[in-house]
Structure 1
Amino acid sequence: MSEAQEQRTIRCLVGKVGLDGHDRGAHVIARAFRDAGFEVIYSGLHKAPDEIVQATVQEDVDVLGLSILSGAHSTLIPKIMDGLEEYGAKEDTLILVGGIIPEEDRDELLDLGVAHIFGPGASMDEIVEFVQENVPERR
């Protein structure tokens, strides 16, 4: 991590997209990010892809963490990635997905620009370390 990255606070948006009402994991990762010294914004439940895109752009976050357990990842995440691309925010945002993502769907999401997919049982330390090592430098 560069000196400039160490001197600024990493801004994260933890997003719950779609009709998925299970937010325990999102709360756990939001707390882990906060405890690591990150600034954390939580989207709340049931957000549409365009709401997540708008929040990502308006809050000028470094990291977008999407928590999804509904099985709609193949529909919702591409919409978010397209929206971020429209605003020119895709390249400047580290995009992570957490939740139940079948192995056969992972390559598609990674090809869209998702940096990493964390499944059930991923350690909070591992996720925080991944963010610290991979957060994009500010433009």
Structure 2
Amino acid sequence: MTARVLVAKPGLDGHDRGAKIVARALRDAGFEVIFTGIRQRVEDIVAIALQEDVAVVGLSILSGAHVALTARTVDALRAAEAGDIAVVVGGTIPAGDVARLHEAGAAGVFPTGTPLEAVVTEVRKLTGGDTPL
């Protein structure tokens, strides 16, 4: 079975090039990828994650609101009884915020410059490695 990943752009951030590059890398690695497009509300991201039965929600955030948006997404998934869906976050993330993101419930954190291979490897681990190489 192919693992499904939702790549989402929460908040008012209007730049999606990086998210599209990550989505393509995941797709090329064998994942089924759903891309939300820009300016999504957390509630809509969670609804899409549930509807699409994803294993991972990947948040792409450049706006500086990464800690709050990640925490809100994790909390909303738990409230929807979908706390088993892993949340990863990437984008413009200062090194000092990585631990805060993990504390907020992020299963993976990918600051700007993270190699795509590292993202794919981590998502593969989070999905039980059930995606072909």
TM-score by length of 2: 0.91
Pairing 1:122–2:114 present: yes
Distance, in Å, in 2 between the alignment partners of 1:133 and 1:78 is 22
Q: Secondary structure at the match of 1:101?
A: coil
TM-superposed CA distance for 1:136, in Å, is 5.2
State whether residues 88 and 108 of structure 2, in contact with CA within 8 Å, keep that contact through their aligned partners in structure 1: yes
Aligned CA distance change for structure 1 residues 55 and 136 (closer, same or farther; 3 Å): farther
Q: Secondary structure at the match of 2:89?
A: strand
Q: % of aligned pairs identical?
A: 47
Q: Given the alignment, which residue of 61, 67, 89 partners 1:74? A: 67
CA RMSD of aligned residues (A): 1.6
Q: Secondary structure at the match of 1:28?
A: helix
State whether residues 96 and 114 of structure 1, in contact with CA within 8 Å, keep that contact through their aligned partners in structure 2: yes
Pairing 1:32–2:25 present: yes
Find the structure with the greater CA-based Rg: 1
State whether residues 62 and 136 of structure 1, in contact with CA within 8 Å, keep that contact through their aligned partners in structure 2: no
Letter in 2 for 1:130: E
Corresponding position of 1:105 = 97
TM-superposed CA distance for 1:76, in Å, is 1.7
| Cα deviations by residue, 1:15-58 (Å, 9 ceiling, x for unpaired) | 00000011011000000011011101001110011111111111
Aligned residue pairs, count: 130
TM-superposed CA distance for 1:134, in Å, is 2.2
Pairing 1:86–2:79 present: yes
Letter in 1 for 2:7: V
TM-score by length of 1: 0.87
Instruction: Identify unmatched segments of 5+ residues in structure 2.
Output: none
Q: Secondary structure at the match of 2:7?
A: strand
